[in-house]
Amino acid sequence: GDICEAVNVTWNSCSPLGSPPAPRAGHTAVKYQDQVIVIGGENLTGYLKCCHVLNLSTMTWSTNDIQPLPYPVANHATITLPPLTDSFYFRQPSLIVFGGNSCEGDGNRSDGGSVAEAITKGSTLQHTATPAAFCN
């Protein structure tokens, strides 16, 4: 892979360790602490529910630090949230996955019912959503 150094706008080659995600489209990638998390997407076999983590300190790919999504999804949006002490749901750092395509029927998951948060427990992310909220 390649990394662009934003200050000098130069590209540098890098070779992360571990197994990188398989080729895909329609995925999201977000920075969380010292990691980049790649979520879902689709390939020739269909929608994906896997999550891959690139540790930026060690430049190592892993799937051990995060559980797969409880549902396959592609063409979605993902954001990270800091802890919100006045919130019942988001007291820990969180990821929110919203919208996209998934499951059966028309597969459109752009409604408010397609929100999932993955709440951190120590250094691993635990999903709190159920597949029923995504696959009507």
Reported as a single tens digit per residue, the pLDDT across 34-65 is 889 999 999 998 999 888 999 999 999 998 76
> 100 by DSSP, 3-state: which?
coil
| pLDDT score of 120 more than 80 | no
| pLDDT score of 70 more than 90 | no
Q: What is the mean pLDDT of residues 109-119?
A: 40
Whole-structure pTM value: 0.73
Number of Cβ atoms within 10 Å of the Cβ of 127: 19
Is residue 94 a contact partner of residue 119, using CB atoms and an 8 Å limit? yes
Helix then strand then coil, in percent of the chain rounded to 5, is 5, 40, 55
Distance CA 61, CA 21 (A): 8
Amino acid at 19: S
